[in-house]
């Protein structure tokens, strides 16, 4: 199966590589430590329960591991995890570190318009840490 | 362990019973088919990756089964699944059926202020269907 990242997901973040059955992206918004897990599944599989049971477990294990990474590396007060996709239908799971005083607190990031690009050197720091902890391919 | 539902979660929905390691609630907002899964875990376990591995799998299996129920029973266009909890810290996972033309589409339900109580007979219909499909305790 040829998997192609949706152009809007590809344009909005940095592709860090593969974990489990997913690609891991850092969203290009330095206001939040905001990651996307994009399961490499065929088009039309848009909701979590549509994943085959084995793939579902693999994706959920990736959610768990990336959540632990975001928690450990950024020390947020709370994680926000969501699979929404009302607009971009290619399945993608948001994993976002949240803290009181961040740009959207206590609201959700999805209702927040603000955006600030990451500095390239910060992206490289985060990529290195993610590769080291998560063993991305 | 004595588990007590957070008063705000209890006041905002109908407790349908237990599935896996969770309580299942229907949120009292007829604008959306909106369910909450509340894992019966100790206070302080607020993020998914903090669950013990076996409990995590049990909770994720409940997410999968409730998602399939919402999808089958309400036939929404899309499911929105999220574990947020910035305000109410007791862990709870939203599973919401979404469709073009609903009150918040294509935005998220968490950014939507509108609310409309369910008719009691509708709640009973949904409860019966959920018990029949999910075998709630």
**What are the pLDDT digits (tens) for A49-90?**
999 999 999 999 999 999 999 999 999 999 999 999 999 999
- For residue A46, the chain B residue with the least C-alpha distance is B78
- The torsion region of residue B75 among left (phi > 0), alpha (psi -120 to 50) and beta comes to left
Mapped onto helix, strand or coil, the DSSP state of residue A84 is coil
Average pLDDT across chain A, whole number: 97
Mean pLDDT in chain B?
A: 97
Q: Is B134 in contact with B19 (CB distance < 8 Å)?
A: yes
* B100-114 pLDDT per residue, tens: 999 999 999 999 999
Q: Is B8 on the interface with A (CB under 8 A)?
A: no
Per-residue model confidence as pLDDT tens digits over A32-56: 999 999 999 999 999 999 999 999 9
Average pLDDT over residues B124-129: 98
Smallest CA–CA distance from B65 into chain A, residue? A49
Output the pTM of the full model.
0.97
Rounded to an integer, what distance in angstroms lies between the CA atom of residue B78 and that of residue A23?
Answer: 22
Chain B residue numbers with beta carbons less than 8 Å from the beta carbon of A71 are: 47, 49
User: What are the structure tokens assigned to B37, written together?
Assistant: 């899964």
Q: Which two tokens stand for residue B134?
A: 């999910």
Q: Is the minimum CB–CB distance between B45 and chain A shorter than 8 Å?
A: no
Give contacts of A79 with chain B, Cβ < 8 Å.
Answer: 47-49, 83
Alpha-carbon distances of A5 from A1, A83, B17, B79, B129, rounded to whole Å = 13, 16, 40, 20, 38
Please give the average per-residue pLDDT across B89-118, as a whole number. 97
Phi, psi dihedrals of residue A113, rounded to the nearest 5°: -85, -25
> What pLDDT shows up at residue A2?
80
Give the pLDDT score at B72: 98
Question: What percentage of residues in chain B have a pLDDT greater than 70?
Answer: 99
pLDDT at res. B137: 84
Q: Which domains does chain B have, with CATH numbers?
A: 7-134 (3.30.428.10)
Distance from CA of A100 to the nearest CA of B (A): 9
**Would you say residue B1 has pLDDT above 80?**
no
Among A33, A57, A72, A84, the strongest candidate for a mutation testing the B interface, having the largest count of B CBs within 10 A, is A84
| Residue B15, helix vs strand vs coil | strand
- Minimal Cβ distance to A48: which of B67, B105, B110: B67
Both ends of chain A: CA-CA distance in Å?
18
Q: Quick one: pLDDT band at residue A137, thresholds 50, 70, 90? A: confident
- The DSSP code sequence of A66-78 is HHHHHHHHH--SE
Q: What is the DSSP letter of B100?
A: T
Query: Which pLDDT band, with edges at 50, 70 and 90, does B75 fall under?
Result: very high
Q: What is the mean pLDDT of residues B28-50?
A: 97
pLDDT at B2: 80
Average the pLDDT over each of A1-5, A125-129, B24-28, B129-133 and give the range with the smallest value: A1-5
- pLDDT of res. A40: 97
Cβ atoms of A26 and A118 within 8 Å: the answer is yes
Is the peptide bond prior to B106 cis by the omega test (within 30 degrees of 0)? yes
Distance CA(B20)–CA(B37), nearest Å, equals 10
- Determine the pLDDT at residue B127: 98
Any chain B CB within 8 A of the CB of A115?
Answer: no
Query: Any idea what DSSP says for residue B107?
Result: S
Question: How many CA atoms does the CB half-sphere of A69 hold within 13 Å?
Answer: 26
């Amino acid at each position: 199966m040829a998997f192609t990242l949706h152009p809007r997901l590809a344009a909005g973040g940095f592709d860090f590589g593969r974990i489990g059955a997913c690609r891991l992206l850092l969203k290009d918004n330095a206001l939040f430590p905001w990651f996307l897990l994009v399961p490499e599944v065929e088009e039309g599989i848009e909701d979590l329960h549509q994943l085959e049971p084995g793939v579902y477990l693999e994706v959920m294990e990736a959610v768990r591991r990336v959540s632990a990474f975001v928690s450990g590396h950024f020390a947020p007060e709370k994680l926000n995890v969501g699979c929404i996709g009302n607009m971009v239908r290619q399945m993608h799971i948001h994993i976002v570190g949240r803290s009181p005083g961040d740009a959207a607190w206590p609201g959700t990031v999805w209702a927040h318009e603000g955006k600030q690009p990451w500095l390239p050197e910060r992206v490289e720091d985060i990529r290195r840490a993610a590769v080291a902890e998560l063993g991305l391919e």
